[in-house]
Amino acid sequence: MAETENRLPPRPAWEADFPIERVEAQHVTRREFAKFLVLVSGGLTVGSAVVAVKDDLMPAAHITEGGVRLCAVSEVPVGETKMFTIPGTALPGILIRPDADTWRAYEQKCTHLSCAVFYDPGTARIECPCHKGAFDARTGFVLQGPPPRPLRRFEVERRGDDVYLVAEVAHT
Ligand code: FES
């Protein structure tokens, strides 16, 4: 013990009033380390469980019978997109018009880590800028990168001069 104290720098005068056990303060006990490991592994387990059930907790879209009007046809030029909020939720959606008569709608969140995706008319793909994930703009299926599932997809109908969200499409 005396040897250990000899290797430490001299103690300042204030330590006489507020003593610190330096040797103990510099070491982590096995018990503390075990507690740390338990907390970290517990946190990781909870985090993994949340990610695993995330889809089951996803709020359902409330699309009324007859559909929900999204916009006027004239608001979305060919090759362009329009953002919307998925009815009944606060989730962002993306409406895509790849050509004059085709409309697609998806949830705008990447299925990897929820980054906002965007439509690239040059490649006809929906891209995720975070980790180079990409989805097929015709189906929402994953083309590349880490996303584990297709984008959440919705059926869209043009009725006269308006565009309607009609139903959610189950991926098969
Ligand atoms: S969040 Fe989209 S690829 Fe990672």
Q: What is the DSSP track for 27-79?
A: ---HHHHHHHHHHHHHHHHHHHHHHHHTTTTSPPP---TT-EEEEEGGGS-TT
* In-domain check, residue 84: yes
Q: Tell me: do 164 and 81 sit in the same domain.
A: yes
Buried-state track 80-91, b at ≥16 Cβ within 10 A, e below 16: ebbebebbeeeb
**How far does residue 49's CA lie from ligand 1's centre (Å)?**
19
* In-domain check, residue 60: no
Q: Is 133 in the pocket of ligand 1 (CB under 6 A)?
A: yes
Q: Is 149 in the pocket of ligand 1 (CB under 6 A)?
A: no
Q: Is 156 in the pocket of ligand 1 (CB under 6 A)?
A: no
* In-domain check, residue 81: yes
**How far does residue 74's CA lie from ligand 1's centre (Å)?**
32
**How far does residue 131's CA lie from ligand 1's centre (Å)?**
5
Q: Tell me: do 47 and 84 sit in the same domain.
A: no
Q: Tell me: do 6 and 35 sit in the same domain.
A: yes
Q: Is 146 in the pocket of ligand 1 (CB under 6 A)?
A: yes
User: Which atom of ligand 1 is least distant from the CA of 117?
Assistant: 2
Q: What angle do CA 105, 96, 143 make, to 5 degrees?
A: 75
pLDDT in tens, 33-89: 788 888 888 888 877 666 566 655 667 888 888 899 999 999 999 999 999 999 999
- Any residues with CB less than 8 A from the CB of 3 and at least 6 apart, and which? none
Tell me the average pLDDT of the chain. 87
CB atoms within 10 A of CB 128: 26
* In-domain check, residue 45: yes
pLDDT over threshold 60, residue 5: no
Per the structure, the complete domain to which residue 13 belongs is given by 2-53
Number of domains in the chain: 2
Give the pLDDT of residue 142.
97
**How far does residue 148's CA lie from ligand 1's centre (Å)?**
10
Q: Tell me: do 11 and 96 sit in the same domain.
A: no
Tell me how long the chain is.
172
Q: Tell me: do 18 and 83 sit in the same domain.
A: no
